[in-house]
Amino acid sequence: MKSLSTQYMGLKLKNPIILGNCPYTNDLDGLKKAEDSGIGAIVLNSLFEEQIDSSAQSDMSGAEGFLTHADAFTFLSQASTEHYVDKYMDLVEKAKASLDIPVIASINCTSDSMWLDIARRFASCGADAVEINHFIIPADCKETGSSIESKYLKFAKKARSVIKMPLSMKIGWHFSSIPNMVKSLSDTGVDGIVMFNHFFRPDIDIEKVCVDSENTLQPKGDYGDTLRWTAMMSSEIDADICASTGIRNASTVVKMLLAGAKATQISSVVSMNGFSAVKEILDGLGDWMDRHGYEKVEDFRGLLSQEKVGDPQSWERSVCLKLYSGFRTI
Ligand SMILES: Cc1cc2nc3c(=O)[nH]c(=O)nc-3n(C[C@H](O)[C@H](O)[C@H](O)COP(=O)(O)O)c2cc1C
């Protein structure tokens, strides 16, 4: 009998579609709807270091006047941070109590300090895994790429030593050598690498003449970078690859699995189209497997990875060759 199940970071998923952070992963109601849609696992909305720090700061604004003792201010602002963290832990606990599918807690942090300790505590609330989105904006002209990359690796090593549960790092693709970075991250012992995050970029509103941010939802979805690097890295590393960004339909899921991804993550398509998108993807994946005579995901996963295809050109340069060959006259 046909099965869509897969293993990702040691977790058994009934299918390779994970709901990534989106408005539905913020509360229990959305999470239950997600499970009912047939999704294989859920990543809860990230606990954002900067957001919590600033919420805690704004809770404290106005308190300075009557808090004469500096220690009291520090104590209360820490208590305020704890309040937001506790709320998140409560969501993790409730999600685990209500859902049968794996629940992956998520943290978005720029510093290792207390945030790794918080991530470690997810285990006590029952989370099945933790996904860490660590992003350093290279804003200092004097800092080299290798210095930034070593910060990522130092962070991943520390995270691995502190967090004993399945751990993934969600990264962007702005490294000068993705293969080296992905391999080095995998060598730190993390269980999964989520390739890639789509970072929201700044834009300008020319009517209000102010800095804005781009539209978060992009209907078309550009999955090209995710596909290439999944295909090139899937057989090079021990960590599992979860393909993310630009996945909008079943055919892109099939492509990511053929390239060697263990699982895929979707966010925008569910935010735009609701949970019918999940059913369409699952039906489409099942239909494709039927048409091609595959009973299990493992029967075709990685068939078109760079290692299996054999010809490195196909994932590195062939698109240019194909494009130009159409214009050749001799
Ligand atoms: C509405 C919305 C909220 C998101 N919130 C988070 C978040 O809290 N943490 C995070 O790491 N990524 C967040 N993301 C990024 C997604 O998890 C995902 O990496 C990105 O949208 C690319 O996938 P997609 O093409 O399927 O949307 C969010 C995306 C959307 C659309």
pLDDT at 202 over 90: no
pLDDT score, position 101: 98
Average pLDDT over residues 184-208: 93
Give the distance from CA 149 to its chain's centroid.
19
Residue in 48, 252, 268, 278 to alter for ligand 1 test, most ligand atoms within 8 A of Cβ: 268
| Helix, strand or coil, per DSSP, at residue 43 | strand
* φ/ψ bin of 310: left (φ > 0), alpha (ψ from -120 to 50), beta (otherwise): left
Residue (of 283, 285, 282, 278) closest to 24 by Cα position = 278
Tell the residue nearest (CA) to atom 22 of ligand 1. 245
DSSP reduced 3-state for 304: coil
Average pLDDT on 101-129 reads: 89
Euclidean distance between CA atoms 67 and 64, whole angstroms: 5
If you ran DSSP here, which 8-state letter would residue 254 be given?
H
The tokens for 226 are 């995710």
| Shortest-distance atom of ligand 1 to CA 268 | 27
Q: Which of 267, 270, 272 for a ligand 1 pocket mutation test, highest count of atoms within 8 Å of Cβ?
A: 267
Residue 158 and residue 122 in contact, taking contact as beta carbons nearer than 8 Å:
no
- Of residues 330 and 14, more confidence is placed in 14
Q: What is the mean pLDDT of residues 226-246?
A: 97
pLDDT computed for residue 107 by the predictor: 93
Please identify, by atom number, the ligand 1 atom nearest to the C-alpha of residue 248. Answer: 26
**How sure is the predictor about 132, in pLDDT bands with cuts at 50, 70 and 90?**
very high
What average pLDDT does range 177-202 have in this prediction? 94
Residue 330 — very low, low, confident or very high, per pLDDT cuts 50/70/90? very low
Report the SS3 class of residue 264. strand
Q: Identify which of 17, 19, 22 to mutate to test ligand 1's pocket (most ligand atoms within 8 A of the CB).
A: 22
The average pLDDT across 240-262 equals: 98
Work out the average pLDDT over 71-77: 55
Q: How far is Cα of residue 21 from the mean position of the Cα atoms in its chain?
A: 8
What is the average per-residue pLDDT within 254-266?
Answer: 98
What's the rounded mean pLDDT across residues 18-45?
96
What are the tokens at 235? Answer: 């057989």
Q: How far is the CA of 244 from the centre of ligand 1 (A)?
A: 9
pLDDT of residue 83: 83
What residues form DSSP beta bridges with 103? 42
Query: Residue 115's pLDDT is what?
Result: 81
Angle at 146 between CA 229 and CA 185, to 5 degrees: 45
134 — pLDDT class (breaks 50, 70, 90): confident
Is there a contact between 4 and 16 (Cβ–Cβ < 8 Å)? Answer: yes
Give 32-58 pLDDT, tens digit per residue: 999 999 999 999 999 987 666 656 556
Confidence tier at 177 by pLDDT (50, 70, 90): very high
pLDDT value at 326 more than 70: no
Measured in angstroms, how far is the CA atom of residue 265 from the centroid of ligand 1? Answer: 9
The best mutation among 26, 84, 106, 198 to test binding of ligand 1, ranked by most ligand atoms within 8 Å of the C-beta, falls on: 198
Nearest to 240 by CA among 35, 18, 48, 44: 18
Q: What is the pTM of this model?
A: 0.89
Instruction: Please check the confidence at residue 7 and state whether its pLDDT lies above 80.
Output: yes
Q: How far is the CA of 268 from the centre of ligand 1 (A)?
A: 7
DSSP at 296: B
**Is residue 64's pLDDT more than 60?**
no
**CATH classification of 6-305, choosing from 3.20.20.70, 3.40.1800.10, 3.90.1300.10, 3.40.50.300?**
3.20.20.70
Owner of token pair 């995270």: 159
What sections of the chain are H helices per DSSP?
Answer: 28-37, 49-60, 70-98, 113-121, 145-162, 178-187, 224-233, 250-259, 268-273, 276-292, 306-309, 313-316, 318-325
Tell me if 62 sits within 8 A of 24, measured CB to CB: no
Mean pLDDT on 276-288 = 98
Ligand 1 atom nearest the C-alpha of 266 is 26
Q: Is the pLDDT score of 248 beyond 90?
A: yes
Residue type (1 letter), 66: F
* Pocket of ligand 1, beta carbon within 6 A: 20-23, 45-46, 106, 108, 133, 170, 197-198, 216-217, 221, 244-247, 266-268, 271
Strands 192-195 and 167-171: parallel
